[in-house]
């Protein structure tokens, strides 16, 4: 789960990371009021969307009067910001962050991520901030500093000092960097984060270190024990299909194809999507219906898949262990009655109560396409697509 910049800054400030003063505005009038409240001659107005590259896309501006703030805010709020990371659909701007301007002497990059190879938290840092980490890795790979943290020890002071020295800091800046690093590590560890990124982390003219921008993402599977983090979720920034699935307890990831998938088990789902590709089609989603799926849960899975207007065929592929094929079959029939399915549906069942499940499908009288194997199901789904799509 991602959160907004202002939310990430509030969390990091609570752990001890210095951030600029600022406030959130939902209207142009609030934005202008915040400019006056901050009391400076210059402020920065930032669109709050779950994406990087906001500045290049026109979502960030330096303003020198409350009238300028109001005008810029009026032009942003309620519009869609398209960046390199959002894709063509963009993200809707419903809030702004107004903060005091900083006198920047240097920009640094700092990130905490999970390194799956070492199974450790890794710090990635660079003396060149303000760029996307992908651009940094491509354009100046030698500038990236990587440091792995031993979970049994945590971030040691000597590691933090070494990193500060390698970034070219000296004097009191070293102590400030150590404090910021330890604060970021504690926030990452204590809140089940998946990423903490400060870009840029700036050294100001007076020698102070400030987090000028911040991103945090969290392990969705741990949100049940992090209520304060879960409360920061903004469904308006999410794919509406994924938001709908999340609200109904389904594991769903939207893709760009047209064959909707309802499958149990992540491994089988991945294999099914691969088989669809081999058969000449393109999956519209990853959806793991999970174990013990009731007919009601199957019905919700159909609603989720059909919320994508690009879906032209649905492939149901179930290998029942904890699940039962008769439950799935009854769920498919219920979906036809309640949802109103008007596109082809291919069903492949295997495992517990498979004969009962197939009999329910066969006796339903509905135009459901049956399949015995995954390969057969994938080819049937591709063949069942409308001719206009198949021709493409």
Distance CA 232, CA 235 (A): 10
Question: What 8-state DSSP symbol labels residue 283?
Answer: B
Q: Which residues pair with 125 in a beta bridge?
A: 110, 145
Known catalytic residue at 109: yes
Interaxial angle between packed helices 172-190 and 157-166, expressed in degrees from 0 to 180 and rounded to the nearest 10: 120
Give 167-231 as a DSSP string. TT--THHHHHHHHHHHHHHHHHHHTTEEEEEEEEEEEETTS-EEE-S-EEEE-GGGGGG-HHHHT
E strand map for the chain: 22-25, 43-47, 60-63, 80-81, 91-92, 96-100, 104-115, 120-126, 144-149, 193-204, 209-211, 215-218, 251-254, 259-263, 285-288, 313-320, 345-351, 368-371
- Residue 46 labelled as part of a binding site: yes
What SS3 class is residue 328?
A: helix
- Residue 139 labelled as part of a binding site: no
- Residue 199 labelled as part of a binding site: yes
C-alpha distances (whole Å) from 311 to each of 47, 159, 281, 388 are: 32, 51, 12, 13
- Residue 55 labelled as part of a binding site: yes
Distance CA 122, CA 159 (A): 12
- Residue 317 labelled as part of a binding site: no
What SS3 class is residue 308?
A: coil
Q: Which of 304, 272, 305, 281 is nearest to 374 (CA)?
A: 272
Known catalytic residue at 119: no
The torsion angle over the Cα atoms of residues 374, 379, 385 and 391, rounded to 10 degrees, is 150
Question: What 8-state DSSP symbol labels residue 369?
Answer: E
Catalytic residue among 5, 188, 197, 242: 197
Please identify which residue in the block is written with the tokens 């330890």: 182
Catalytic residue among 5, 109, 242, 252: 109
Question: What 8-state DSSP symbol labels residue 351?
Answer: E
* Residue 182 half-sphere exposure toward CB, CA atoms < 13 A: 14
- Residue 260 labelled as part of a binding site: no
- Residue 257 labelled as part of a binding site: no
- Residue 162 labelled as part of a binding site: no
Interaxial angle between packed helices 66-76 and 28-38, expressed in degrees from 0 to 180 and rounded to the nearest 10: 150
Binding site for ATP: which residues? 46, 53-55, 99, 102, 107
List the catalytic residues. 109, 197
Binding site: which residues? 46, 53-55, 99, 102, 107, 199, 213, 264
Binding site for substrate: which residues? 264
Binding site for Mg(2+): which residues? 199, 213
């Amino acid at each position: 789960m991602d959160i907004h910049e202002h939310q990430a800054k509030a969390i990091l400030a609570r752990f001890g990371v210095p951030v600029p003063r600022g406030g959130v505005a939902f209207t142009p009038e609030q934005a202008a009021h915040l400019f006056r409240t901050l009391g400076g001659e210059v402020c920065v107005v930032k669109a709050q969307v779950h994406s990087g590259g906001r500045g290049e896309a026109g979502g960030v501006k330096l303003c020198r009067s409350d009238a300028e703030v109001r005008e810029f805010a009026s032009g942003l709020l309620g519009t869609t910001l398209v960046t390199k990371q959002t894709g063509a659909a963009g993200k809707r701007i419903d809030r702004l962050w107004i903060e005091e301007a900083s006198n920047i002497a240097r920009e640094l990059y700092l990130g905490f991520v999970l390194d799956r190879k070492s199974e450790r938290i890794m710090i990635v840092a660079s003396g060149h901030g303000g760029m996307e980490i992908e651009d940094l890795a491509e354009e100046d790979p030698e500038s990236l500093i990587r440091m792995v943290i031993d979970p049994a020890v945590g971030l040691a002071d000597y590691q933090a000092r070494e990193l500060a020295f390698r970034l070219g800091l000296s004097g009191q800046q070293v102590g400030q960097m150590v404090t910021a690093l330890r604060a970021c590590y504690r926030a990452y560890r204590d809140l089940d984060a998946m990423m903490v990124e400060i870009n840029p982390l700036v050294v100001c003219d007076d020698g102070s270190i400030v987090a000028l921008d911040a991103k945090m993402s969290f392990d969705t599977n741990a949100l049940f024990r992090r209520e304060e983090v879960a409360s920061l979720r903004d469904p308006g920034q999410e794919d509406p299909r994924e938001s709908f699935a999340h609200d109904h307890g389904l594991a769903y990831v939207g893709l760009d194809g047209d064959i909707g998938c309802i499958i149990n088990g992540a491994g089988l789902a991945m294999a099914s999507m691969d088989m669809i590709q081999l058969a000449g089609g393109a999956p519209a989603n990853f959806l793991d219906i999970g174990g013990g799926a009731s007919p009601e849960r199957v019905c919700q899975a159909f609603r989720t898949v059909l919320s994508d207007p690009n879906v032209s065929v649905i492939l149901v592929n179930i290998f029942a262990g904890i699940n039962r094929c008769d439950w799935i079959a009854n769920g498919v029939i219920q979906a036809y009655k309640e949802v109103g399915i008007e596109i082809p549906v291919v069903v492949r069942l295997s495992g517990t109560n498979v004969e009962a499940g197939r009999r329910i499908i066969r006796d339903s009288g509905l135009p459901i396409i049956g399949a015995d194997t995954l390969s057969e199901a994938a080819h049937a789904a591709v063949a069942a697509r409308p001719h206009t799509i198949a021709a493409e």
